Amino acid sequence: MEPVEILRAMKSALADGEETALAAVEERLRDPFAVLIATVLSHRTRDERTSEAAMRLFERFRTAQELASADETEVEGLIRGVGFYRNKARAVIKIAKEITNKHEGKVPRDLEGLLELPSVGRKTANCVLVYGFGLEAIPVDTHVHRIANRLGLAKTRTPEETERKLMEIFPRDIWTEVNDTFVMFGKKICRPIGPRCLVCPLRGTCKYYEQVGSGKQREREVKGEKDNQDNKK
Ligand code: SF4
């Protein structure tokens, strides 16, 4: 299957209307600064908690200037539902200060500028490009890295290598769709532990299923048959 067909099959396997926390923030706030801060909040945190915390924070502090002068304890209280909320409160205030002081309150529109901000790595920067500015980029998190490798679209050791590979194999005009689709697919079907291969439309093309998944599945089927026979004895 061609990479584009794989992406289409993933999309059709997902129920309509499902989206990641970042897509939800983008949809509701349409603001690169909100996307940047929500991405920082999302690290090691479930989607629902990320969106809730981000919305609470932005109801109180709408701009980089406002957040730059926020009280850290108050920010902690607003984002308490997310993992490492104390560190993240400190980080988002620091980012807001940097944007206010060095970028006239505006989020940089390019990868290099974004990477210079504190606590902003490649994945976060690419998320801001895609969800904040609608620019072509492929943010690679653990879901994207894992699925690309399981499917055999990439054979890479780091997310950065995966990013390069995916940029090579997907046409540029669909780069912005890759992250959201892979992330949702990774949450619903190709889960980190216990991938749902039996309901996956990509079973026939998946390297992981060919090498590992189908073997495990056969073991389960054989065990099931044996258990049935034992029960009948
Ligand atoms: S067949 Fe299994 S491992 Fe492969 S993509 Fe589908 S869910 Fe993931």
The pLDDT score that the predictor gives to residue 26 is 73
| Alpha carbons 204 and 198: distance in angstroms, whole number | 11
**Does any ligand 1 atom lie closer than 6 A to the CB of residue 208?**
yes
Mutational pocket test of ligand 1: of 146, 147, 209, the residue with most ligand atoms within 8 Å of the beta carbon: 209
Task: Kindly report, residue by residue over 192-205, the tens digit of the pLDDT.
Answer: 999 999 999 999 99
**Does any ligand 1 atom lie closer than 6 A to the CB of residue 38?**
no
Mutational pocket test of ligand 1: of 12, 208, 212, the residue with most ligand atoms within 8 Å of the beta carbon: 208
Q: Which domains does the chain have, with CATH numbers?
A: 1-15+136-233 (1.10.1670.10), 31-133 (1.10.340.30)
**Does any ligand 1 atom lie closer than 6 A to the CB of residue 190?**
yes
Of residues 176 and 220, more confidently modeled:
176
Cα of 208 to ligand 1 centre, how many Å? 7
Cα of 183 to ligand 1 centre, how many Å? 13
Average pLDDT, the chain: 90
Cα of 190 to ligand 1 centre, how many Å? 5
CA of 212, closest atom in ligand 1: 3
Of residues 228 and 198, more confidently modeled:
198
Q: Which two tokens stand for residue 182?
A: 């892979």
Query: pLDDT category, 225, cuts 50, 70, 90?
Result: very low
Question: Region 167-174: what's the mean pLDDT?
Answer: 98
CA geometry: angle at 12 spanning 15 and 177, to 5°? 95
Task: Kindly report, residue by residue over 4-47, the tens digit of the pLDDT.
Answer: 999 999 999 997 666 777 777 777 777 999 999 999 999 988 88
Q: Which two tokens stand for residue 143?
A: 């879901």
Give the predicted TM-score (pTM) of the model: 0.86
**Does any ligand 1 atom lie closer than 6 A to the CB of residue 10?**
no
DSSP H or E segment with residue 128: none
| Alpha carbons 76 and 89: distance in angstroms, whole number | 5
Cα of 85 to ligand 1 centre, how many Å? 33
